[in-house]
Structure 1
């Protein structure tokens, strides 16, 4: 058997990641600033409501917003059609498992980042209407991973690209709103929805999903996993993540994930609160009252004891031992 070559990796210094906390997304931030200057805070809030809706009629927006969509609905230079499609095929094949990872691994993984969790908590929508936010996140993830949504277009732009570009503006809006209230400590926490946090979120939805699926003993090839990572890299660079913070392979993803976790993972009131709200929302999907503790057991199994403890996820040893043998559809219905 031919021995696989060890893939090269960059290393991400503490200073580099610290600097990235002071960086947002200038292109999207400029667009949101123009919206504010033209229609004021009330108009910007109305625009934000459009951004979070399943409405892709971008031709009815302000002229410079239309220009934003026209100019940025393009694939990045590193895009490889075959790899990208292979990543989409992988997602279609493992939809139910990815849905499980989304709720029980990706989101709590993000909440473990104490400084990044602050903006999620301050936005209030997650704590107050977690189920709706969870459904919106699911719609985005499975929308951009749906091959059909890369073929169906609205006024010449694929629906999947419109989803991505809308979320990019939504992130810029959240940055604007959070800074406008002047309670955000930029010096200590970095910008709201900054580059390090966006890079961490990319990992949560790509590499960390792969790690969780392997932990659940799912079978797939290294090539499929690399393709899935490539697909998310393409999505995230279009969403405004600095290309220098996108892992070029799974080994590099491991290195970056460790670097960010070392800097950001710790117990916080916001992370614990978000996780508690998420668990409550997931439990609402389960009809059988005897299975209500299963989401927390899945979380502890997938996240590992250290991260689960810092998020104060309830410990259910019996259910946790049973988790590897529980069919996802039997519990959550997806």
Structure 2
């Protein structure tokens, strides 16, 4: 959600008609990508995860060519090339640096070895997505520096940003994983509360994300407390740590299964 606050980064989504299609398919695609590429031994050549990366690389290339071919109003001087390397690196940072920062804010303790592993993994994924390896950071310090310089050149969120943010919240209502409307509404409020917990007030205002009902404001704190308790229980020994990884993997695979089953079939490739 926070990435929508960078106006130029969003323009390829606008020009490819993502708003008209809604956020259900995009969220399914992103979830399917993330879950598959982060499993153990996932990135062997021609594995399912490897093929997802190649598919994403081809999709980026196709979108880049078509935007330039079909859209006379694309402003290269203002926005750069569609889906350019620096914007791709910023997106990669969302899966590494910003991801780690969000987890820490939600009470997750991350070791130096785990942090190093996250950056190593996403450097390789970024390379497979066509970003030159020399451009990709190896450490949190390098990522912070890169992200800072990139952010200084970005315009703040605009009307398109707010529309994309609204579409992402609306995904909770459009998705059919939960049968009843009141359940979907509760999920939307839960996601609003997490946004209000993780994002700065200025970003929330620019993206026009409504404040959730008061009763949902405690939800992120409950997540934080649950994470802290789980870590106390499972981080005492390597065996317990392995059990926590096993539990997390099972939960993530179940969520992916739900999305794959409930995304309308005409949304699939």
TM-score of the aligned structures, taking structure 1 as reference length: 0.60
The answer to whether 1:202 aligns with 2:112 is no
Alpha-carbon distance, 1:160 to partner: 2.2
Question: 2:190–2:219: 8 Å Cα contact kept in structure 1?
Answer: no
Q: 1:309 aligns with which of 205, 222, 245?
A: 205
The answer to whether 1:266 aligns with 2:162 is no
User: CA–CA distance in 2 between the matches of 1:228 and 1:321?
Assistant: 29
CA separation of 1:149 and 1:223: change in aligned 2, threshold 3 A: closer
Partner of 1:41: none
The answer to whether 1:242 aligns with 2:140 is no
The answer to whether 1:325 aligns with 2:214 is no
Partner of 2:244: none
Alpha-carbon distance, 1:261 to partner: 2.3
User: CA–CA distance in 2 between the matches of 1:163 and 1:301?
Assistant: 32
User: CA–CA distance in 2 between the matches of 1:305 and 1:244?
Assistant: 35
User: CA–CA distance in 2 between the matches of 1:172 and 1:321?
Assistant: 43
Question: 2:165–2:207: 8 Å Cα contact kept in structure 1?
Answer: yes
User: CA–CA distance in 2 between the matches of 1:282 and 1:265?
Assistant: 28
Q: Deviations over 1:82-106 (max 9, x none)?
A: xxxxxxxxxxxxxxxxxxxxxxxxx
CA separation of 1:270 and 1:245: change in aligned 2, threshold 3 A: farther
Question: 1:202–1:232: 8 Å Cα contact kept in structure 2?
Answer: yes
User: CA–CA distance in 2 between the matches of 1:209 and 1:196?
Assistant: 18
Partner of 1:150: 43
Partner of 1:132: 25
Alpha-carbon distance, 1:110 to partner: 2.5
The answer to whether 1:184 aligns with 2:74 is yes
Alpha-carbon distance, 1:307 to partner: 2.3
User: CA–CA distance in 2 between the matches of 1:303 and 1:245?
Assistant: 27
Report the more deviating stretch, 314-323 or 210-219.
314-323
Partner of 1:174: 63
Partner of 1:233: 123
Q: Deviations over 1:5-31 (max 9, x none)?
A: xxxxxxxxxxxxxxxxxxxxxxxxxxx
Question: 1:127–1:274: 8 Å Cα contact kept in structure 2?
Answer: no
Q: 1:119 aligns with which of 6, 12, 25?
A: 12
Partner of 1:28: none
The answer to whether 1:220 aligns with 2:107 is no
- 5 Å-filtered alignment, 1:288-303, equals 288=183, 289-303=185-199
The answer to whether 1:211 aligns with 2:104 is no
CA separation of 1:270 and 1:189: change in aligned 2, threshold 3 A: same
Question: 1:120–1:126: 8 Å Cα contact kept in structure 2?
Answer: yes
Structure 2: state its 5+ residue gaps: 228-247, 256-269
Q: 2:52 aligns with which of 163, 178, 188?
A: 163
Alpha-carbon distance, 1:322 to partner: 3.5
Alpha-carbon distance, 1:193 to partner: 0.3
Aligned residues: 221
CA separation of 1:190 and 1:291: change in aligned 2, threshold 3 A: closer
